[in-house]
Structure 1
Amino acid sequence: LLSELTQKGKLIFVVIHQPSSDIYKMFDRMLILDQGGYLVWYGNPVDAVVHFKTLDNQVNADVGECGVCGNVTPELIFDIIEAEVVDEFGRYTERRKILPQEWEKNYLEGVPKDEVEEVNDEPPATLNIPNWFKQFKIFLTRDILAKISNTQYIVLNLLEAPLLGFILAFLIRYIADPTSSTYILFDNENIPPYIFMSIVVALFLGLTVSAEEIFRDRKILKREKFLHLSRSSYLTAKIVILITISAIQAFLFVVIGNAILGIKGMYFAYWLILFSVFVFANLMGLNISSAFNSAVTIYILIPLLMIPQMTLGGAMFSFSKLNRLIGSVDKVPVVADMMASRWAYEGLMVYQFKENKFEKQYFDYDQVKSIANFNQDKLIPKLSESIEAIEIVREENEGKNNVDSVNKVVAYELALLKHEIPKENRKILELTEKLRDFKSGKNGKKINFDVFYNGFDALAADDETVKDSLFIPEELINALNVKTYEVEKHGYELMDDLEKWKDFYLAVYSSANELRENLIAYQDERKPRYYIKFRNKYHNEHLDDIVRNIYEKNKILRFNEKLVRQEEPIYLEPDDSNFIGFRSHFYAPHKYFLGHKFETFWFNIFVIWAMSLLLYIPLYYDHLRRIVEFFGDLNFNKKKINKNIEEVQNKVES
């Protein structure tokens, strides 16, 4: 092989000790350096034997190889060079007969040198490093051939995902009615767990398929390091192969699992989410594969990576009921936002609820009803309670010498009112604008909402008229402080304004509910039992319960100076006041980012891919490996220090 490379114009340098006769004669040139780096020979290997035998005055010095068999004894050269002086007693001393300087002098003076013609031309093109694309193609081809040659690898990766999909779906294909053999998607309580377990499977398979990729290539990479090849082309080839495998695995899993569970019309959405999670897990696996030197260590790490993804994915524990150092009442905790599982689970749950063929027809009506119902039955009574609490505490403590404690309670309640009322003013205007857009068909869907109350048509009026009719005045809001607030003047006025809000939201709810019922009646008239059949075929009750958070006892919660809605989060639009921020409550139907509104499903997919791209940066620069090596060096130094301490202690004791 090396000889063939020389025929292609390459120079091959080989460092070798005690070569056999055949290998020795295969070299074109041999360079011998004596102790201290002195050059004692450069030239034909066989001629070197003749040269040193001649200088050593040996018999048949002009014979370099055996005349019969052609063998050469390379060791003879080293015996001559390192020959030692014998003393008067016939014993070898440690002094050499001829020093390295003398051997070099004999070579320089006694061996004729070939004249070397100076060449200024560039080396042949075969010595050039291929461009990025060619390197990528070579790495890709090499990796594909290596994987194809491993039959077990191919079979396992092709069968693992569909087999897991079959096992999971078969086990949880639940029929609620014990007297019936008909499977109904609506009644299957295991659909949300199926969604979450699908994400767990994607994470696990994505990690295991990539966890040894770079680790297995470590010896090859070490040999190729001196060539200064493109790391990005190598990594890109790896990633392309892995995401191709992941795409196939996600497809097979979804096709089998969704078909068994009767989840119709959602194949692409499920595949896209799971494929995105697969890719994220692939990048995570490549990072640990690049960082650690042991396959055992790599596989020990996989549970450590999986457990946070499972715990903070949103399915096992409510984010509002986590440790206070981590949990959050009004938004998904930051630490959970770092988990791909959280974005995948939310995206798929919201999409399954909103975009199935049943709920898609009624979601807009249900959302308007939910907003109106919550404000009317939960929010406004809560604000009224704060106003009443101020009145009660002042009446009960009138004439008593406890002004500070009273003012503390009053300030606490006023802080809530001052925060919530301006926010609700803005939300009323947003709701009327939204209903107007539906009525005009601006949203792409025309719904004839009508909001009449007390002779006022809120949707026919312009924004200024709505503000004059429904907004709580700025002057009243500014009066919400301990020094200026008066119960008779400001409190009663606030209560009257809240009653207006109640009337408004009652009108909104009635309009949305009437339109929804009319739509259902029309559909059932055209196709008998249309509503029930479509619901059973495409909707899932348990998933509906989860995204509407019906199991939460506290439908509204006070958190500092604000009220947090915990009822039906799927219908609650996130706060869009922060231009850059995209964090929101869990199961939000949309996300706001950079002033734009995005569907949760697509935004969450974008976040998962962004996280995957971020994982590529430490992979490319090998950050994790450097960190591991840094702490490994610290550990080594610690052991060395402990050893030195033990030695000192032993000396003291002795």
Structure 2
Amino acid sequence: MRLRRWVGGFAVYRAAPHEQSAQLIVCNVTADDFFFIKDLGRGDLKLNGNPVQKQSIAPMAQGSVIKDGAGHAVFFSDVVQCCSTCDRVEQRMQFEALNLAHFFNYPNEAALRPLSIKAQSGDLIGIMGASGSGKSTLLNILNGSLKPTFGEVYLNGSSIYGGEGNAKGSLGHIAQQDVLISELTVYENLKFSADLSLGGAKEKERLERVELTLRRLGLWDIRNLRVGSVMDKTISGGQRKRLNIALELIREPAVLFVDEPTSGLSSRDSEHIMDILKELTLRGKIVFVVIHQPSSDIFKLFDRLLLLDVGGYPIYQDNPLECLGYLKQMSNQVQNSEAMCTTCGTVNPEEIFDTVASCMVDEYGQLTENRRVSPEEWNDYYNMIQEGGPATPATEELDSPEATVVPRWSEQFRTYWRRDVTAKRKNKQYVWMNLLQAPLLALALSVFTRYRSAEGEFVYRLSENLPQFLFISVIVALFLGLSFSAEEIFRDRPTLRRERFLRLDWNAYLASKMTVMLGISAVQSMLFTLIAVAVLHIPTGAGMLFMTLFSLSAFANVLGLNLSSAMKSAKTIYIIIPLLIIPQIIFGGAIIRFDRFNPIFTQVDRVPLIGNLMASRWGFESLAVHLTRENEADAPFIAFEDRMERAAWRRDFWYQQYRLIEDADVRSREWEGALDELNSWGIATQSLSTAEDVRHAFKDAYKEAFKARDAERKAVSESTDLKALKDAHHNDALHEWVMQTDRHERIALTDRGLVQETAFIHQMPLGRQAWNAPFYAPEKQLGQWSIKTPTFNLFVLWAMSALLYFILANRWPERWGWGKRLD
């Protein structure tokens, strides 16, 4: 039988011309999907296996099937689809998957065997199969998340994998995994989803759509309840599932893929969820549902069933009510014509799996492990039926999917930022932990390192633990920045995986996330600095302390986001955090001095490569140099002391070693270096011809610098108490730390010539580029420019952060295969 026409609320079914006379009238008397039938033909029709008397009227409910004496069938879905081919469908859709096959490692590890699927507007297609049958792989291929090894998927003729067209934006996916943001309310979850989904709608339209969706799914009364997590439930499992569906329904995708929508739900909630999905198909949507063990009522909702066997073999693709009979017929079982119970109309989907995986018995009547029909044999039957079945209707020429309007970058950024801030603000534990961590650590660290003299009075100059405090502060900043950012993207991964169908800009999400992280780091760095300065009386370094700690935290933020994007589990993330922090401690230049590393890895006058890769090295050096040179007690005299230190070293150590050098090239380089340094001080060198002359020149330079410093001190002392100034601004321990006067050797011969091994704090670059400069050098040379070390080091920290951000923006951690791809 086939449909001839639909007039008003009546459908007329007639037999084909070559068949005997048969006529059936179907009447839809309400807006509900409930029909009445009347047999006007020969009286051999059966409804769900029960005879229909000629000229009598019988109700036809969901999941029903009508058969005539010749075995022709009209299913309930046929009637509904006929009824729905009216003006209710705004744009007809045709979804085609042609010759799909997928291998994890071609030609080995087959995940999905050759398969083609065609669906059109109004189809609800169920995908069933045992574990390991490739259901999830097929779903990921169909929704565009995974490109198959062979084959192509089209929507109205447009490939869903192509860069052009609107096909990808017309797809939606509801994962089995919960994608709700637990801190937000039901309304907020859906509102933020609407802001990201409905780019072309005005705010009023979005609000109306949110309210309509909540009312349609029965969630309006709980709209102000916090969603909560799966372990900390505030709303029921059925309500959570409906809200997950609402996140996709808000934008009404043309094709919707749903993974296990009924798992973990009661039978009533399961039926409610499936009724919602069925309602979508009545509005012209195409819905694919992966489901494991549906009830009889749910099973009968499907228009078509695709059954997969272990190994990715397709074994059935047709009306679900015919599946069990087909399987029994192919496996030569008795009662193979029964599709459902003739008494109650119940279908047992579990019997499908029992039939597929039924095993043979041995001579003792015991079941063996050998299947009666192997997956390969089922697939052969399937291919035979597909090839010998009725010709597939030709693909219609349909309009390309309508373009979905993507919100502007600024709108995406604002929505992402508001959603993240709102969620964090509502998590009181998160707020208090991040607010209290920095001040508590600062208080504990500064109190325990606050050293007082025997007289019991704290003097900043005598605070012996200041270098250690500065270095631990650097490590604390790195730890804080890394610990609260390392799980951010990982926690958002389910939501991001759903939102990839919206074609949103990854950089908008990343920029919003980074802005929030930087805001938190700025607050933490400020609180840490305020308490540390107050307890330790750090005088003029508060601004640099804040900037350094904030820059270190920013670097750690980006590092944490990379880690979050790369790793597959939270446990792995927190195992790796110490592995990132410990090298910062070891190679930061404070715990183990660079000159005391294994000589294979370092040189006496420069930082080794591994040290230059550590953010802690740049942060600690920045603070040490700034507090040593830029404080009010030393800054007025530092230029004179630089000259005095270098002139004394040239006079006392360089001169003696220079006389012992025999290599002419080395002597020439050292001679030119000494003259260049004198020239940089404004001292004429034209008359200098011997080493003794140069020694006297440096001796005179030392005397002049010494006199100038004393004169400056005298001038300052007239208006300021120098001792009080030094007590308040100069720290002896830090000065000794950067001078490194405990070294026994003061000069060494390297491949660069003679180098000073102490007082790096007073050594200017003199042509040495920044990466070759000694630790604690006051300036770094970049090309022709000399930049103060604190400023240069901050620049390096932000450059390192920018590099990590570039890596994250290009999604290299995902492409390297460490984490789960989001696109």
- Whether TM exceeds 0.5 here: the answer is yes
Indicate the SS of the match to 1:14.
strand
Indicate the SS of the match to 1:210.
coil
- Residue 557 of structure 1: how far off its partner (Å): 3.3
Indicate the SS of the match to 2:611.
helix
- Residue 330 of structure 1: how far off its partner (Å): 1.5
For 1:557, give the aligned amino acid.
A
Q: Which residue of 2 aligns with 1:490?
A: none
CA distance in 1, matches of 2:760, 2:291: 73
The correspondence of residues 105-116 of structure 1 with structure 2, limited to 5 A, is 108=390
Match of 2:727 among 536, 539, 560: 536
Indicate the SS of the match to 1:606.
helix
Q: Structure 1 residues 137 and 26 mapped into 2: Cα distance closer, same or farther (>3 Å)?
A: farther
- The answer on whether the counterparts of 2:643 and 2:701 sit within 8 Å (CA) in structure 1 is no
The correspondence of residues 194-593 of structure 1 with structure 2, limited to 5 A, is 194-224=469-499, 229-360=504-635, 362=636, 365-375=637-647, 377-386=648-657, 411-412=662-663, 416-432=666-682, 466-469=684-687, 471-472=688-689, 493-510=690-707, 512-524=708-720, 530-560=721-751, 562-576=753-767, 581-593=770-782
CA distance in 2, matches of 1:262, 1:336: 30
Indicate the SS of the match to 1:119.
coil
- Residue 431 of structure 1: how far off its partner (Å): 0.7
Indicate the SS of the match to 1:8.
coil
CA distance in 2, matches of 1:7, 1:381: 80
- Residue 259 of structure 1: how far off its partner (Å): 0.9
- Residue 76 of structure 1: how far off its partner (Å): 8.8
- Residue 619 of structure 1: how far off its partner (Å): 3.3
- The answer on whether the counterparts of 1:132 and 1:233 sit within 8 Å (CA) in structure 2 is yes
Q: Deviations over 1:173-209 (max 9, x none)?
A: 2111x233x3221111111111111001111122221
Higher alpha-carbon deviation: 142-151 or 542-551:
142-151
Q: Deviations over 1:56-104 (max 9, x none)?
A: xxx9x99999999x977667999999999xxxxxxxx969999657976
For 1:419, give the aligned amino acid.
R
The correspondence of residues 31-180 of structure 1 with structure 2, limited to 5 A, is 31-32=305-306, 41=318, 108=390, 118-120=397-399, 122-123=401-402, 125=404, 128-176=405-453, 178-180=454-456
In terms of fraction of residues, the more helix-rich structure is 1
Q: Which residue of 1 aligns with 2:116?
A: none
2:304 aligned with 1:30: yes
- Residue 520 of structure 1: how far off its partner (Å): 2.9
For 1:8, give the aligned amino acid.
E
CA distance in 2, matches of 1:151, 1:262: 33
CA distance in 2, matches of 1:14, 1:26: 11
- The answer on whether the counterparts of 1:370 and 1:568 sit within 8 Å (CA) in structure 2 is no
> Alignment RMSD, CA only?
4.4
- Residue 273 of structure 1: how far off its partner (Å): 0.4
For 2:672, give the aligned amino acid.
P
CA distance in 1, matches of 2:357, 2:600: 74
Give the percent of matched residue pairs that are identical in Structure 1 and Structure 2. 32
CA distance in 2, matches of 1:83, 1:557: 84
Q: Deviations over 1:510-535 (max 9, x none)?
A: 2x2342233233224xxxxx212222
- The answer on whether the counterparts of 1:556 and 1:564 sit within 8 Å (CA) in structure 2 is yes
- Residue 262 of structure 1: how far off its partner (Å): 1.0
Q: Which residue of 1 aligns with 2:45?
A: none
CA distance in 2, matches of 1:557, 1:105: 86
For 1:169, give the aligned amino acid.
S
For 2:662, give the aligned amino acid.
A
Q: Which residue of 2 aligns with 1:10?
A: 254
Q: Structure 1 residues 606 and 501 mapped into 2: Cα distance closer, same or farther (>3 Å)?
A: closer
In terms of fraction of residues, the more strand-rich structure is 2
Higher alpha-carbon deviation: 337-346 or 93-102:
93-102
Indicate the SS of the match to 2:754.
strand
Q: Deviations over 1:525-581 (max 9, x none)?
A: xxxxx2122222222221122223333333333335622223432222112255xx5
Higher-RCO chain (CA-CA 8 Å, sequence separation at least 6): 1
Indicate the SS of the match to 2:455.
coil
Indicate the SS of the match to 1:23.
helix
For 1:372, give the aligned amino acid.
M
- Residue 48 of structure 1: how far off its partner (Å): 10
CA distance in 1, matches of 2:774, 2:657: 25
For 1:206, give the aligned amino acid.
G
CA distance in 1, matches of 2:468, 2:639: 25
- Residue 282 of structure 1: how far off its partner (Å): 1.9
CA distance in 2, matches of 1:326, 1:535: 38
Q: Structure 1 residues 156 and 71 mapped into 2: Cα distance closer, same or farther (>3 Å)?
A: same
Match of 1:611 among 800, 815, 819: 800
Q: Deviations over 1:589-627 (max 9, x none)?
A: 111112112121111001011111222344345545666
- Residue 114 of structure 1: how far off its partner (Å): 11
Q: Structure 1 residues 65 and 148 mapped into 2: Cα distance closer, same or farther (>3 Å)?
A: farther
- The answer on whether the counterparts of 1:211 and 1:288 sit within 8 Å (CA) in structure 2 is yes
Indicate the SS of the match to 1:523.
coil
Q: Deviations over 1:430-458 (max 9, x none)?
A: 111xxxxxxxxxxxxxxxxxxxxxxxxx6
Q: Structure 1 residues 82 and 534 mapped into 2: Cα distance closer, same or farther (>3 Å)?
A: closer
CA distance in 1, matches of 2:676, 2:739: 24
- The answer on whether the counterparts of 1:380 and 1:502 sit within 8 Å (CA) in structure 2 is yes
Indicate the SS of the match to 2:718.
helix
Q: Deviations over 1:354-402 (max 9, x none)?
A: 2223323x2xx33324423542x3313445435765xxxxxxxxxxxxx
CA distance in 2, matches of 1:101, 1:627: 39
- The answer on whether the counterparts of 1:34 and 1:40 sit within 8 Å (CA) in structure 2 is no
Indicate the SS of the match to 1:264.
coil
- TM-score, length basis structure 1: 0.68
2:462 aligned with 1:187: yes
CA distance in 2, matches of 1:250, 1:559: 41
- Residue 164 of structure 1: how far off its partner (Å): 0.4
Q: Structure 1 residues 67 and 350 mapped into 2: Cα distance closer, same or farther (>3 Å)?
A: same
For 1:119, give the aligned amino acid.
L
- Residue 6 of structure 1: how far off its partner (Å): 8.9
- The answer on whether the counterparts of 2:321 and 2:339 sit within 8 Å (CA) in structure 1 is no
CA distance in 2, matches of 1:50, 1:560: 87
For 1:411, give the aligned amino acid.
E
CA distance in 1, matches of 2:646, 2:354: 98
Which residues of structure 1 form unaligned runs of 5+?
A: 53-58, 85-92, 390-409, 433-457, 459-465, 473-492, 525-529, 631-654
Which residues of structure 2 form unaligned runs of 5+?
A: 1-241, 257-287, 328-334, 360-370
Q: Deviations over 1:443-494 (max 9, x none)?
A: xxxxxxxxxxxxxxx6xxxxxxx2434x43xxxxxxxxxxxxxxxxxxxx44
CA distance in 1, matches of 2:487, 2:398: 46
- Residue 508 of structure 1: how far off its partner (Å): 3.9
- TM-score, length basis structure 2: 0.55
Indicate the SS of the match to 1:592.
strand
Indicate the SS of the match to 1:120.
coil
